[in-house]
Amino acid sequence: MELRNLKTFQIVAEELNMTKAAKRLKYTQPTITLQIQSLERELNHTLLTRVGKNTFLTVAGRRLKDHVDTLFTLVEKIELDMEKLRGPAGILTIAAPEYYCTHHLSTIINTYTEQYPNVRVSLLPLNSIHAIQSIRDHVADLAIIASECDEMDLRKNFLEEEQTLLVASTELSKGRNLQEILSSFPFISYNSDCSFSDIIEQYFKKMDIKPISTIVCGGSDETIKRIVLNNTGYAILGENSIKNELKEGTIKILQKVSKPINTYSINLKVRSEEPNVQTFNDLLQNAWPFI
């Protein structure tokens, strides 16, 4: 039996209308009739019958339809498996906070595209909350986030734990203790929809203090760091984002914050085995700790 004739029978059996079946298959009606007749001769069974203007499946036709549906489900699985063996290709969209885009992902993406030249990587700078939503909305295929994410439909891969620090510029800190800084200068903060806001809120609650004022500066670590270096106020930042400044002595640690930043890659669980998602996650697991 030819797959072509079986496929024609499957469509005819679904439509029970030769005109509609011909339109779906893009065959002429005489071609469809010849294919069905060929199949009937091969099986030695009548598959279709007409009563007035209506077409019906015979008992043999109904039985064959069940087998054909199972067969083409299997054929589709075979085609998908063979497609996976061709390797990653097409577009891979990654959402991540600006800091990760600038400091981590540029190097990783360069390595990835060298390994998989048929993949074009698109990078979306989004804070962690918006990055999670971009996965849910199928805007991004994979995201890097700096927050907890326990939704059942998302796969989460741990990448790094980073110390969070309460900091100020060395110049602003000179001659002042922690209490004097907290009571004299504003707190430089992220937007309320940033994942960092939970760490900030827990810190001030635990310390039982409230900033005298707050300057909200968006979701950029770089922007907040620059404002801190300008002696405007103090902030809570991840250790990685201020390593150079700590080494140079331009920023001073006022206090370690107990809750760390946990970094993860996330994707929809149902997409975990897609070649692009799987290979990029594999590279992240190997490359991220060494950056």
Task: Band the pLDDT of 259: cuts 50, 70, 90.
Answer: confident
Instruction: Return d(Cα 192, Cα 195) in angstroms, integer.
Output: 8
Task: Band the pLDDT of 190: cuts 50, 70, 90.
Answer: confident
State percent of the chain over pLDDT 90: 66
Q: pLDDT, tens digit, for every residue of 55-103? A: 999 999 999 999 999 999 999 889 877 776 677 888 999 999 888 888 8
pLDDT surpassing 80 at residue 189: yes
How far from 78 is each of 75, 83, 87, 88, 257, CA to CA, in Å?
5, 9, 15, 17, 53
Pick 156 or 259 by higher pLDDT: 156
Question: Are residues 72 and 128 both part of a single domain?
Answer: no
pLDDT surpassing 60 at residue 183: yes
Question: Are residues 166 and 255 both part of a single domain?
Answer: yes
Question: Are residues 77 and 119 both part of a single domain?
Answer: no
Report pLDDT for 218.
Answer: 74
How many other C-beta atoms lie within 10 A of the C-beta of residue 214? 13
pLDDT surpassing 90 at residue 164: yes
Question: Are residues 80 and 96 both part of a single domain?
Answer: no
Q: pLDDT, tens digit, for every residue of 228-254? A: 999 999 999 999 889 999 999 999 999
Which pair of tokens denotes residue 232? Answer: 């405007």
The domain boundary residue, chosen from 37, 67, 84: 84
The domain boundary residue, chosen from 84, 102, 118: 84
Q: What is the CATH number of the domain that holds 12?
A: 1.10.10.10
Question: Are residues 112 and 189 both part of a single domain?
Answer: no
Question: Are residues 212 and 129 both part of a single domain?
Answer: no
How far from 52 is each of 49, 55, 56, 62, CA to CA, in Å?
10, 8, 10, 20
Which pair of tokens denotes residue 138? Answer: 């199928």
The domain boundary residue, chosen from 46, 66, 84: 84
- What mean pLDDT value characterizes the chain? 91
Question: How many domains does the chain fold into?
Answer: 3
Q: What is the CATH number of the domain that holds 283?
A: 3.40.190.10
Domain that holds residue 140: 90-160+264-290
Report pLDDT for 220.
Answer: 79
